[in-house]
Structure 1
Amino acid sequence: MQAWSSTVVQYHRLRNDLAVIRLEGDAVPFKAGQSVSVAVPQNSALTRRYSPALPPSLDGKLEFHVRAVPAGWVSGGIVNETRPGDVWQISDPQGGLHVDDSGRDVVMIAGGTGLAPLRAILLDLTRWERPPNVTLFVGGKSPRDLYAGDMLWLMASELPWLTVVPVVDQLHEPWASDRWNDRIRADVDSAAKFFEPEHCWEGSVADVIAAQGHFSDRQILVCGSPGMEAATMRALVESGTPAELIRR
């Protein structure tokens, strides 16, 4: 199996359990929305699948959003130990998550770092002459958990065809602080915008989607944890959305 090398050029810790890693190297022949197999020097014998958060580029730029999962040797190593200069091995692009050129409006539903491939697709759509209207539902545990809120706010303000709907399990933040989030809010430009509780819909992503009715005339893209995807699929189908319209 062919593999491509990519070198970490930037590491950004956004939350206690989440980091964004940017790399440059070989041009990897994937499509926006696909996942790739990743091997990192901290655990080179193990591979994990992650979806790039940027569309493919000839100059080999890649970006990954990685959340450390409990007992996750690879994800924990990436979030806690990645340093600029690390060389990753990328291989085996797979997946059919995409937006077609039918002109139909699009509903995207993201849970946590499931946002990454959808963000790659959104950025790819900016290259289209006439992109479709897109509504992005993005879910988290609380407003603080919406780790890309400032980026999504900016995208929604600049792209007239994009609407972002933040959805959180609870509007109130947990009592425990997150020093990385606190540092980001203290360091960013005062003009930067974040999704505060008053901007968010409260409830599970599946419940909020179920309340919208059917989406039988839309393209539907779903990406998140297996549990989130299963619950969202069930909500969509029970609300009247044909299962064959849903991509994940």
Structure 2
Amino acid sequence: MTLDPDQTGPIAIGGKAREWTATVVGAHRLREDLTVIRLIGEFVPFAAGQSVEVRTPQHPNMVRRLYPALPPSMDGKLEFHVRTVPGGWCSGSLVSDTRTGDEWRISNPAGWLAVDPEAPEVVMVADGVGLAPLRALLLDMSRREDPPRTTLFVGGRYPRDLYASDMLHLLTGELPWLTVLPVVLDDEDPVRADNWYEACRVDIGFRPEEMIPGSLDEVVGRFAPLVHHQVLVCGGAAAVHATVERLVATGTPPENIRYEGF
């Protein structure tokens, strides 16, 4: 999926431009390069797994496309996971400068990440903040009477990149049909400290022995072919493309795979 950071203009519904407003109620800096932003406002009619366009006070004339990490909520709750993109001044200011009380304008839900109602088993692959839409889908699936058995691979370069390990650990305890497999390229964090990580460190999460070493595409490829699974992949473009190519090369039917990279 290709996004144009200079695109402007709200969605037109029935020929009439439409935006929804939401107010930031919390901006939680979890890493030096990552913030979880929570908002409450008007109901936004998106589907779990989709992305939306946002305008913020920091860049009122610039549109950025983000993925809600919660399914649609009638009480207007929204959550976004924002990570600094190298060289990306817009994402950097969202991570460092978002404040409680900021008003966001939201428009144009789009995307095709979704879990088919008849999928017998599901595999999800999240690179970094690509976890956000997959988490929204997991919470949406939890409302079903009989959710499909689901395996979620979450990947990062270092263990501390797995920013939601505590949330995922708790989620597996609540959802017996969910298995989470953490994947890291390096099994030790870098020597350089991340003060934000140290400040919010908790004891709940993945133990070192639970983490699978390797890249996402390598590790997921070991489980292929995924002939009877629906596969959803989301994250950085390079990791997504490598994972999809590995899956197809190892026998997973392309029609079984949905993916979005950014």
- In structure 2, the residue matched to 1:60 is 76
- In structure 1, the residue matched to 2:174 is 158
- In structure 2, the residue matched to 1:136 is 152
- In structure 2, the residue matched to 1:11 is 27
1:45 is paired with a residue of what secondary structure?
strand
1:9 is paired with a residue of what secondary structure?
strand
CA offsets per residue over residues 78-131 of structure 1, 9 Å max, x none? 100000000001000001101111141000000000000000000001111110
Q: Please identify, of 96-105 and 134-143, the stretch whose mean Cα deviation from structure 2 is larger.
A: 96-105
Gaps of 5+ in 1: none
- In structure 2, the residue matched to 1:26 is 42
- In structure 2, the residue matched to 1:206 is 217
Contact 1:206 1:228 in 2 (8 A): yes
Aligned-residue offset at 1:71: 2.1
- In structure 2, the residue matched to 1:79 is 95
Residue 230 of structure 2 aligns to which amino acid in structure 1? Q
Question: How many residue pairs end up in the alignment?
Answer: 243
**Alpha-carbon separation, structure 1, partners of 2:217 and 2:50:** 23
CA offsets per residue over residues 31-84 of structure 1, 9 Å max, x none? 000000011100111111100000001111000000011221221111000000
**Alpha-carbon separation, structure 2, partners of 1:157 and 1:170:** 27
Aligned-residue offset at 1:201: 0.2
Structure with more of its chain in helix, by fraction: 1
Residue 243 of structure 1 aligns to which amino acid in structure 2? P
Aligned-residue offset at 1:140: 0.5
Give the counterpart of 1:233 among 213, 230, 244. Answer: 244
Structure with more of its chain in strand, by fraction: 2
Residue 134 of structure 1 aligns to which amino acid in structure 2? T
What's the TM-score, normalizing by structure 1? 0.96
Contact 1:43 1:73 in 2 (8 A): no
| 2:118 paired with 1:102 | yes
Aligned-residue offset at 1:213: 2.2
Gaps of 5+ in 2: 1-10, 12-17
- In structure 2, the residue matched to 1:217 is 228
Residue 240 of structure 2 aligns to which amino acid in structure 1? E
2:43 is paired with a residue of what secondary structure?
coil
What CA RMSD, in Å, does the superposition of the two structures yield over aligned residues?
0.9
**Alpha-carbon separation, structure 2, partners of 1:194 and 1:35:** 27
Which runs of structure 1 show a deviation greater than 3 angstroms over 4 or more consecutive aligned residues? none
Contact 1:143 1:196 in 2 (8 A): no
**Alpha-carbon separation, structure 2, partners of 1:47 and 1:237:** 34
Aligned-residue offset at 1:241: 0.2
Contact 1:37 1:50 in 2 (8 A): yes
What's the TM-score, normalizing by structure 2? 0.91
- In structure 2, the residue matched to 1:170 is 186
**Alpha-carbon separation, structure 2, partners of 1:29 and 1:70:** 31
